[in-house]
Amino acid sequence: MSWNPRDTVNLRLEFVRLALQKGANRRELCQRYGISPKTGYKWLNRYAQSGEAGLEDRSRRPLSSPNRTTCEIEQRVVSLRNEHRWGGRKLERRLRDLGEPVVPTAGTMTRILHRHGLIVPEASLAAAPWKRFEHEQPNDLWQMDFKGWIELIDGRRCSPLTVLDDHSRFNIVLDACGPTDTQVVRRRLREAFRRYGLPLRINADNGSPWGSPAQPGQLTTLGIWLIRLGVKISYSRPAHPQTNGKDERFHRTLKAELLSGRHFASFCGAQRAFDTWRIVYNTQRPHQALDMDTPITRYRPSPRPYPERLPPLQYGDADTVVRVRVNGELRFMSRRFKVSSALENLPVAIRPSTTQPDCYDLYIAHHHFDTINLNLTK
């Protein structure tokens, strides 16, 4: 099986980096990336012989020279800045990763950027680091959102769908979407699950299609699909975007390094640019919150494979199981209760509440979605 043409250049380095990690199952990675083991080992061998240059279809200019002059180094810094819009610390780490024989300090690089008018005081203030909680392992939590839409040259709106791993800041999904409905998001997530496996939890805001703006926390068709896959779903508190802070910060980086001043003629053109920048972000761009490492050095694919068929809903022997009726009506003890219409025709479990008398907790698979009170009517 050959590489998807869209991913031919961008995913070779990602595949190699993951395959070279300790304990990596290379044949399983080949399967997830849609290539044969022969092709996978070909790229591993080329990388071992020539490094990143061995993965390219086109020739590349040498990145280092023992006879490089100070002026040439300064121009190299300016060139990298113009290419990626990074600051001094990231540029220093990237040049070291590329094997440059002489690398100025981050402070020197910052002065070079100021000297060439590439940094203004306002940008320095905006670059102040944030301290955030971080999950212990890759795939413990993914953060998901749409970045605000951008307008294509022909007037159509393109909404970038982004998914970020909380622990490693590895970008899982960066897709140029037109519609932002359930079908679109589910198709993009399915592709990600097949390649990277299932996370333990996904956090999103209360916007459509994963949330309900009018009723925060209300289950949607997309949320139920994730729950049935065994993925926990959580929602940011209304008006608190910092709950999805790492993905919000990713959006700022995406805008600063790729979108600002750029105009795309089509969705395909936007996606090509997204793919190219994504591989830089994941495998080349030093990340300040990771002690200047790159996200791929901390990411591992999930050991939980994506099931091509949804597993059946199963509950305990002590549960009362009731099937939700049309328009989300649930009947229990001769009473009617209204739940999410997305649960229509699905069995749910009813369990006595351990904290509230005359109340019962409602579950779909592992997910507690509501509590009903027999003393109240709905």
Q: What CATH code is carried by the domain that includes residue 244?
A: 3.30.420.10
Give per-residue pLDDT as tens, 198-211.
Answer: 999 999 988 889 88
The pLDDT-based confidence of 243 (bands split at 50, 70, 90) is low
Q: Is residue 137 part of a domain?
A: no
Output the CA torsion sign for 123, 126, 128, 131.
negative
pLDDT at 5 exceeding the cut of 60? no
Q: Is residue 313 part of a domain?
A: no
Mean pLDDT of 238-263: 83
Q: Is residue 281 part of a domain?
A: yes
- Per-residue pLDDT, 1: 45
Q: Does 14 or 170 have the greater pLDDT score?
A: 170
For residue 272, how far is the Cα from the chain centroid?
17
Burial of residue 179, with CB atoms counted within 10 A of its CB: 0-12 exposed, 13-18 middle, 19 or more buried: exposed
Question: Radius of gyration of the chain from Cα atoms?
Answer: 24
Give per-residue pLDDT as tens, 344-374.
Answer: 999 999 999 888 888 999 999 999 999 998 8
How far apart CA 120 and CA 300 sit, in angstroms, is 37
Q: What is the pTM of this model?
A: 0.75
Q: Identify whether residues 49 and 78 lie together within a single domain.
A: no
By percentage, how much of the chain surpasses pLDDT 70?
87
Q: Identify whether residues 146 and 269 lie together within a single domain.
A: yes
pLDDT at 62 exceeding the cut of 70? no
- Per-residue pLDDT, 295: 94
CA atoms within 13 A on the CB side of 84: 21
The pLDDT-based confidence of 238 (bands split at 50, 70, 90) is low
Q: Identify whether residues 292 and 325 lie together within a single domain.
A: no
Give per-residue pLDDT as tens, 100-114.
Answer: 777 877 777 777 777
Closest CA relative to residue 247, chosen from 326, 362, 148: 148
Q: Identify whether residues 19 and 76 lie together within a single domain.
A: no
Q: Identify whether residues 93 and 188 lie together within a single domain.
A: no
Instruction: Tell me which of 126, 157, 173 is where a domain ends.
Output: 126
- Per-residue pLDDT, 68: 45
Q: Is residue 314 part of a domain?
A: no
Q: Does 188 or 107 have the greater pLDDT score?
A: 188
Domain span at 175: 142-297
By percentage, how much of the chain surpasses pLDDT 90?
56
Mean pLDDT of 150-165: 95
How far apart CA 264 and CA 275 sit, in angstroms, is 14
pLDDT at 376 exceeding the cut of 80? no
Q: Identify whether residues 269 and 365 lie together within a single domain.
A: no
- Per-residue pLDDT, 124: 46
111-125, 203-217, 268-282: least confidently modelled range: 111-125
Q: Is residue 65 part of a domain?
A: no
Q: Is residue 378 part of a domain?
A: no
Rounded alpha-carbon distances, angstroms, from residue 91 to 112, 121, 279, 321, 325: 11, 18, 17, 58, 59
140-144, 218-222, 329-333, 353-357: least confidently modelled range: 353-357
- Six-digit token pair at 8? 């031919």
Q: Identify whether residues 223 and 324 lie together within a single domain.
A: no
Q: Identify whether residues 75 and 169 lie together within a single domain.
A: no
- Please state the domain count of the chain: 4
Mean pLDDT of 108-127: 63
61-75, 254-268, 343-357, 360-374: least confidently modelled range: 61-75
Residue 130 Ramachandran class (φ > 0 left, ψ -120 to 50 alpha, else beta): beta
Q: Is residue 183 part of a domain?
A: yes
Q: Is residue 308 part of a domain?
A: no
- Per-residue pLDDT, 67: 43
Q: Identify whether residues 51 and 23 lie together within a single domain.
A: yes
Residue with tokens 């810094």: 77
- Six-digit token pair at 201? 């939890």
Q: Identify whether residues 185 and 276 lie together within a single domain.
A: yes
Q: Identify whether residues 119 and 148 lie together within a single domain.
A: no
20-24, 62-66, 67-71: least confidently modelled range: 62-66
Q: For 99-181, where are the alpha helices, taking DSSP H only?
A: 106-115, 121-126
In three-state secondary structure terms, 169 is coil
- Per-residue pLDDT, 4: 54
Q: Identify whether residues 203 and 249 lie together within a single domain.
A: yes
Instruction: Tell me which of 265, 297, 329 is where a domain ends.
Output: 297
